[in-house]
A and B are shown apart, each in its own frame.
Chain A
Amino acid sequence: MKNHLFLAFTNLKRRKLRSWLTILGIFIGIAAVVSLISLGQGLQNFIDTQFEQLGADKIIIEPESFGPPGSVSDEQLILDDGDLKTIQNFRGVESAESILTRTGVIENKKEQEVVFINGVSEEYINLFDGSDFVEVIEGRQIKNSDNSKTVVGYNHVYGNIWENELRVGSSIEIKGKKFDIVGVLRKQGNPFDDNSIWIEKETLRNIFEIGNEEGIIVAKADSGFDVEVIAEGIRNELRNEKDQEEGEETFSVQTSAQLLETFSTIFTVIQAVFVGIAAISLVVGGIGIMNTMYTSVLERTKEIGTMKAVGAKNSDILFIFLFESGLLGLVGGIIGILLGAGIGKSVEYVATVQLGTNYLQAIFGWQLIIGAMTFSFIIGALSGVLPAMQAASLKPAEALRHA
């Protein structure tokens, strides 16, 4: 076998540029597969860590319109303190807290920036005890008594939001009210979180004159209860209280698993497109390889006759040609892996540097590389089956008569 591989390999040396071009399809296909899988792996890792941070026992209730656009007024599209009470009192809910968010201008000396301002309570922070979301890398977290204190996102201190540097102890102003920075949040890897600031919830309510709205509510299920069942129960309860039909709710109830599924769903769509491109390219590449292999068999008919004259069995010829087409596929695959790695890393670069998110990291395991190489070899070999069988079945005497 080693020798057949050697003979196949030497045959590659005489191939003309034209026949190399036929593997274009293979490397486009493999590139699509490799970039896809590497990004998919990265996204999966992201989802897994987010899930771990969020905790499997969380249920997130958000205002959301399911009806046609404009069918629900802004007033209707809020969760209020009554809703929060309902959820807190629901059987199986250990605790539930809300986070209120407003966009607002914050001032730092002469500079101004528009950012998300989150209003949180000690109870809300405690819901996520131990997770990166609420971890401060400097100073401390918000307390319920903090009516003029703020904890800022990572970028305020370590990013390039401000010319005039901020740190723990500096202060900023919101709507003319002064807030002292008492802590800095850990880097989350996306601008929504890293550019935001946190203040105490009731303080936010006062400054922005928010009535009884409760923003997004996070509930923690009691251990021993099925999170999905409780989520369904909350959905029914809220629907009854608000007197809404199924499918016309003004809110959504999702477990942390369901929430993160949204990411997967988006990715699945992208995946379908890529898999389509990959499949078409691989078929085209495979046909290209088959075509050049047929040409080779024709060109080398006399050589095949000679090999048979000196003792090559049909199976020897079959393997030599199968290996040759497999190697063609493999070469396409290796180029494809490099190209795919390039694409994956470019997407990662755009996602991290341009968009500032860490959702899309391209991850290349050796399994992916070995797998892609094996796969491309097999595609090549499969494409070569028919030509190789034709070569193997040539009659030696007739093959030798060939010019």
Chain B
Amino acid sequence: MGKNTIIELKNVEKHYQMGDSIIKALDGVSTEINKGDFIVILGPSGSGKSTMMNMVGALDLATKGSIYLDGENIENFTESELAQIRGRKIGFVFQTFNLIPTLTALENVMIPMIFQGVETEKRIEKGTKILKKVGLGHRTGHLPGELSGGERQRVAIARALANNPDVILADEPTGNLDSKTGKEIMKIFTDLNKKGKTIILVTHDLALAKHAKKILKIKDGRLEKQS
């Protein structure tokens, strides 16, 4: 493990029980992710991309193998310890944005800070600043329903950045956007990466792979080759 490694997967397997049979959604995945990487996990639907993201993002525990975040094996962590790690170290961006419809853009961005105990004034100040950074300074008081898809995804990215995490995990972030808006969103990720954020992007879209510094091709729960 190199000194810049922030996430390491060692022979990770994830099994799901489906009736009588067992699905190996991940089947012996090993990889290292270094600080400042821009990684695209590329694979067809059902290949295990989201499952791998869940492992990397501490949303779920592996059936076999080990996962290290900042050198710590997360295997024996409690659910609330994992929640703390997710809240502080990782920012999630989803295909369907997953904003809370009754909260304004700013309030949505403030949620991760609430769970880290950030004070209200500080939250408003930071939230507003981040929304400005993603180009939504004029939309802070809008509800998600009043925003376009691209704007919603920007709010979601701002939310992912709320606690200034090292890593951003994005699962098909452009999947629900038209190609022009998708490009704008990808630009935000490349900019963030330039400023030092580690980006892990999951997609089935080969066209997005060109942004990557490193591509992990996945098929049937196995990484094909690393380039």
Contacts and interface: CB of A to CB of B under 8 A. Distances in A.
B150 interface: no
B217 interface: no
Nearest to B100: A303
A307 B115 CA distance: 9
A77 to B, nearest CB: 73
Contacts of A302: 96, 98
A313 B83 CA distance: 5
A180 B103 CA distance: 80
A44 B16 CA distance: 67
B83 A311 contact: yes
A312 B98 contact: no
Nearest to B88: A311
B86 A309 contact: yes
A311 B115 contact: yes
Interface in B65-119: 79-80, 83-84, 86-88, 91-92, 94, 96, 98, 100-103, 107, 111-112, 114-116
Given A3-B114, A310-B111, A400 B94 contact: yes
Interface stretch (B3-11, B26-34, B52-60, B189-197): B52-60
A306 B115 contact: no
A49 interface: no
B59 A309 contact: yes
B111 A307 contact: yes
A399 B57 CA distance: 15
Contact of A316 (B92, B102, B115): B115
Nearest to B82: A396
Contacts of A13: 102
A7 B113 CA distance: 13
A14 interface: yes
Given A11-B102, A14-B102, A400-B94, A308 B54 contact: no
Contacts of A3: 114, 120
A310 B115 CA distance: 8
Contacts of B160: 310
A314 B170 CA distance: 23
Interface in B160-174: 160, 162-163
Interface in A276-316: 302-303, 305-316
Nearest to B54: A397
A395 interface: yes
Given A315-B80, A316-B115, A397-B59, A310 B87 contact: yes
In this complex, the member of A13, A308, A397, A401 whose beta carbon has the largest number of chain B beta carbons within 10 angstroms is A397
Contact of B112 (A7, A11, A310): A310
B159 interface: yes
A315 B111 CA distance: 15
A252 interface: no
A10 interface: yes
Nearest to A312: B115
Contact of A396 (B60, B96, B101, B107): B60
Interface string A378-400: 00000000000000000111001
B103 A397 contact: no
A7 B120 CA distance: 13
Contact of B98 (A7, A303, A311): A303
Contacts of B96: 302
B59 A396 contact: yes
A306 B160 CA distance: 11
B60 A313 contact: no
Contact of A395 (B51, B57, B60, B91): B60
28 contacts: A3-B114, A3-B120, A10-B107, A303-B98, A306-B98, A307-B111, A307-B115, A308-B86, A309-B86, A310-B112, A310-B159, A310-B162, A311-B83, A311-B86, A311-B88, A311-B112, A311-B115, A311-B116, A312-B87, A313-B80, A314-B79, A314-B83, A315-B80, A316-B83, A396-B59, A396-B60, A397-B60, A400-B54
Interface of A: 3, 7, 10-11, 13-14, 302-303, 305-316, 395-397, 400-401
Given A302-B98, A303-B98, 4 more contacts: A10-B107, A310-B111, A311-B112, A313-B84
